[in-house]
């Protein structure tokens, strides 16, 4: 197996290919062995040099077939890869990684909250790149009409003002977070968006149409799904059956055909079960598919609730504190799944979360509420340094 050496070697230079039509830089690590930080630096110095010379950003298609990265070389390999992605990348897909390399990438992905995007073959990876490019073009083509627009929303319960004049916009394909202290109105805002509460005043526009006064079931039919702060599963039912309930609004059979389980009703259930099995595989819960959810630990119950929401094939996924009560490992897993749902399926995500590390790492857009009013809105970096937010929520010092 070839050892990675100096960056100027023609052999490695030929492994860097720019596909202009795909906006993609292909990096071929196949059959290379990285045994030291020096070998990693030699290769990544060449990658940096070539990428910098183009003066633009690229999607990365990284080939790992029969590539060996020793434990001694991995920390530097991960650090240099992260630097290249931040400096020049639009997104990365990876092909042909060995089991040990997959595990190392996924572990780093969990810690650093980036998307692993590992595929079995080149065709799958190229397809994923195409989907990434489509989503980026859709977001770039957004007009003044945002994908979801909340405008001057008020919510009163008698004399209690839960929300006062809240407004913000969500673009297609974003991961947006709503943060704020307890009692700030975060869950109330999610309930208004999902149709569980009806706004006292204000409008909510989705895909250019006013849907302020729709019921929760009508909002679901538009493509909204949500999870709840407190787990709302059927504890005596299996994981698979709980997830199947997310498909119920799509089922067309009548009482008679469903009771007989014959013909169209049988074919329809098979089709829905196939969709549910894909979600089970996606969220890596195959081992508990037949287990009653009441017997599952808290973190897995949260994952089953996410699976049920995904079974609705949502355009917009509303997550109310999806990582509350989880340990660090469970949070890393959930953050990875949230990123993968957004990246691989293009789902727009709005989440409420108290873990500021998670919020700042995975969010493209952050809205801050305090006492029912919006006090800030912007990117994670803007919110992190906003003095009003620091005083009101994150704390000073």
Q: Give CA–CA dist 376/370, Å, rounded.
A: 9
The answer to whether residue 248 scores a pLDDT higher than 90 is no
Is-contact 150 166, C-beta < 8 A?
Answer: yes
Evaluate the CA torsion angle 183, 189, 195, 197 in order and state its sign: positive
Convert the pLDDT of each residue in 15-25 to its tens digit: 999 999 999 99
Q: How is residue 196 annotated by DSSP?
A: S
Going by pLDDT thresholds of 50, 70 and 90, the confidence category of residue 201 is very high
- pLDDT at 251 exceeding the cut of 80: no
- Residue-level pLDDT at 164: 94
Domains present along the chain, CATH in parentheses: 2-140 (3.30.750), 148-394 (3.40.50.300)
* CB 78, CB 116: distance < 8 Å: no
Please state the rounded mean pLDDT for residues 139-149. Answer: 63
Q: Rounded to two decimals, what is the model's pTM? A: 0.64
* pLDDT above 70 for 8: no
Q: What is the DSSP letter of 390?
A: I
The Cα–Cα gap between 183 and 17 comes to 53
* Higher per-residue pLDDT: 61 or 104: 61
Q: What is the mean pLDDT of the chain?
A: 84
Reported as a single tens digit per residue, the pLDDT across 115-138 is 667 888 898 889 888 877 876 665
Q: Which residues pair with 93 in a beta bridge?
A: 61
Of 193-197, 303-307, 329-333, the one with minimum mean pLDDT is: 329-333
pLDDT digits (tens, 9 = 90+) for 258-284: 555 555 666 777 788 888 999 999 898
pLDDT value, residue 115: 60
For the stretch 73-98, pLDDT in tens is 999 998 898 888 777 888 888 999 88
Predicted pLDDT of residue 379: 80
* Residue 224 to residues 166, 211, 233, 314, 348, Cα–Cα distance (Å): 20, 12, 18, 5, 10
Q: From residue 84, give the alpha-carbon distance in Å to each of 43, 51, 77, 125, 308.
A: 12, 9, 11, 19, 36
Does position 257 have pLDDT exceeding 80, yes or no?
no
Q: What pLDDT, on the 0 to 100 scale, is given for residue 88?
A: 82
What number is the average pLDDT over the span 184-210?
A: 93
What is the predicted pLDDT for the residue at 5? 45
Q: How many CB atoms lie within 10 A of CB 141?
A: 8
Residues 6+ apart with CB under 8 A from 334: 299, 302, 303, 306, 322, 323, 326
Strand ordering across the sheet containing 68-69: 2-3, 32-34, 68-69
Higher pLDDT, residue 50 or 378: 50
């Amino acid at each position: 197996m070839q050892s990675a050496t100096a960056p100027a070697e023609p052999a490695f230079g030929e492994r860097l290919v720019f596909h202009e039509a795909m906006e993609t830089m292909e990096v071929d690590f196949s059959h290379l062995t990285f045994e030291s930080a020096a070998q990693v630096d030699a290769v990544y110095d060449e990658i940096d040099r070539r990428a910098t010379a183009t003066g633009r950003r690229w999607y990365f298609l990284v080939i790992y077939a029969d590539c060996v990265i020793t434990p001694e070389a991995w920390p530097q390999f991960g650090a240099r890869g992260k630097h290249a992605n931040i400096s020049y990348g639009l997104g990365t897909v990876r092909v042909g990684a060995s089991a040990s390399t997959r595990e190392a990438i996924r572990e780093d992905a969990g810690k650093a909250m980036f998307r692993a995007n590992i595929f079995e073959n080149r065709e799958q990876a190229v397809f994923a790149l195409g989907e990434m490019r489509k989503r980026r073009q859709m977001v770039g083509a957004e007009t003044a009409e945002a994908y979801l627009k909340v405008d001057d929303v008020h919510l009163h319960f008698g004399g209690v003002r839960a929300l006062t004049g809240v407004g913000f916009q969500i673009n297609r394909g974003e991961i947006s977070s709503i943060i704020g202290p307890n009692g700030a109105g975060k869950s109330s805002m999610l309930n208004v968006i999902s149709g569980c509460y009806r706004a006292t005043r204000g409008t909510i526009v989705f895909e250019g149409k006013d849907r302020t006064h729709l019921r929760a079931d009508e909002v679901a039919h538009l493509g909204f799904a949500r999870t709840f702060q407190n787990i709302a599963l059927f504890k005596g039912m299996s994981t698979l059956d709980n997830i199947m309930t997310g498909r119920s609004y799509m089922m067309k059979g009548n009482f008679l055909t469903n009771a007989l389980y014959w013909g169209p009703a049988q074919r329809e259930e098979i089709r829905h079960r196939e969709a549910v099995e894909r979600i089970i595989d996606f969220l890596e819960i195959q081992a508990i598919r037949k287990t009653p959810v009441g017997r599952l630990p808290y973190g897995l119950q949260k994952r089953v609730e996410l699976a049920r929401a995904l079974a609705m094939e949502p355009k917009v996924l509303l997550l109310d504190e999806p990582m509350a009560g989880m340990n660090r490992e469970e949070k890393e897993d959930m953050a990875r799944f949230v990123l993968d749902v957004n990246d691989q399926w293009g789902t727009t995500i709005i989440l409420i979360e108290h873990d500021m590390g998670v919020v700042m790492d995975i969010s493209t857009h952050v809205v801050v509420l305090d006492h029912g009013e919006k006090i800030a809105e912007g990117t994670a970096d803007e919110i992190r340094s906003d003095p009003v937010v620091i005083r009101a929520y994150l704390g000073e010092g």
